[in-house]
Amino acid sequence: MWARHSDQDGGILENVINYAPGELPERTLVLIKPDNFRFPTGRPGNVIDFFSRSGLYIVGTKVLRMSTAQAMEFYGPVREFLRTKLKDGVGAKAKDLLEKEFGFKIPAAEQKALGDILGPLQGDAQFDNIVRFMAGHAPGEIPQADWTKPGTEKCIALVYEGVGAVGKIRDVLGPTDPSKAPPGSIRREFGSTIMVNAAHASDSVDNAKREFGIVKPGENNFKQVVEEAFGKL
């Protein structure tokens, strides 16, 4: 029944929630990440149940197979951060390995130079891991002509609306690193690593708008998804 009517009534709901005078609602994006779909379990629904504690409203939802190009654009801001952040750690590790291999000490200036050279490479490798995790393929693993095709990994995009939506969702989600997330948060309960951490949530209203433009949660493909699973309606 939903699929038959989705062509006319699908997409993101508008003006369906009543707010008190002076209340300013926000919209934020949540992605239920691919690690929740690796095995047939109730985890996706459980994660959504956790988000319901925020008291917000779901006004849009979409089953998404993120393309490599979408994943690259979505996580693009993370790439430069990784290229810079990893310099010190990579330099120190390279220093230790080289000293052990060659038997002489490497001065601090040379250690820094090693980090400057190898840090960006390690950052790019970590970025490729993120893209592969979300889309199924890193950009170097498939022809560029295939970058825009739907990926092999599934996630669910959800649009939440309400007063203070960005902060409320991130409070329920918890920090990026599950080991540092408080008990009862989604990432503590369902995450395992910084990358495999159950869900993504926009960190600002502006970033939510940017992410909406990439994953297009208002795009109405509900009927297509139902027909792929159950046949032509």
pLDDT in tens, the chain (233 residues): 777 777 776 689 899 999 999 999 999 999 999 999 998 889 999 999 999 999 999 999 999 999 999 999 999 999 999 999 999 999 999 999 999 999 999 999 999 999 999 999 999 999 999 999 999 999 999 999 999 999 999 999 999 999 999 999 999 999 999 999 999 999 999 999 999 999 999 999 999 999 999 999 988 777 777 888 888 87
Shared-domain flag, residues 59 and 169: yes
Shared-domain flag, residues 108 and 165: no
Within a domain: 17:
no
Shared-domain flag, residues 80 and 135: yes
- Picking from 145, 174, 193, the residue at the C-terminal end of a domain is 145
Within a domain: 18:
no
Residue 102 is predicted with a pLDDT of: 96
How many domains are contained in the chain? 2
CATH of the domain at 205: 3.30.70.141
Residue 137 is predicted with a pLDDT of: 98
Residue 220 is predicted with a pLDDT of: 75
pTM passes above 0.85:
yes
Shared-domain flag, residues 189 and 140: no
Shared-domain flag, residues 204 and 225: yes
Shared-domain flag, residues 182 and 138: no
- For the four alpha carbons of 15, 213, 218 and 71, in that order, the dihedral sign comes to negative
**Residue 183 belongs to what domain range?**
2-12+23-65+154-230
Shared-domain flag, residues 159 and 197: yes
- Picking from 126, 145, 164, the residue at the C-terminal end of a domain is 145
Could you write out the DSSP letters of every residue in the chain? Answer: -HHHHHHHH-S---S-S---TT--EEEEEEEE-GGGGSSSSSHHHHHHHHHGGG--EEEEEEEE---HHHHHHHTHHHHHHHHHHTHHHHHHHHHHHHHHHH-S---HHHHHHHHHHHHHHHHHHHHHHHHHHHHSS-GGGS-GGGTTS--S--EEEEEEEEETHHHHHHHHH--SSGGGSPTTSHHHHH--SSSS-SEEE-SSHHHHHHHHHHH-TT---HHHHHHHHH---
- Picking from 125, 145, 165, the residue at the C-terminal end of a domain is 145
Within a domain: 38:
yes
Shared-domain flag, residues 158 and 220: yes
Shared-domain flag, residues 42 and 7: yes
Shared-domain flag, residues 104 and 213: no
Shared-domain flag, residues 56 and 161: yes
Residue 233 is predicted with a pLDDT of: 76
What residues does 30 pair with on adjacent strands? 158, 201
Within a domain: 133:
yes
Cβ(152)–Cβ(131) below 8 Å? no
Within a domain: 30:
yes
Residue 105 is predicted with a pLDDT of: 96
Residue 222 is predicted with a pLDDT of: 72
Residue 177 is predicted with a pLDDT of: 94
Shared-domain flag, residues 212 and 97: no
Within a domain: 91:
yes
Within a domain: 127:
yes
Residue 227 is predicted with a pLDDT of: 83
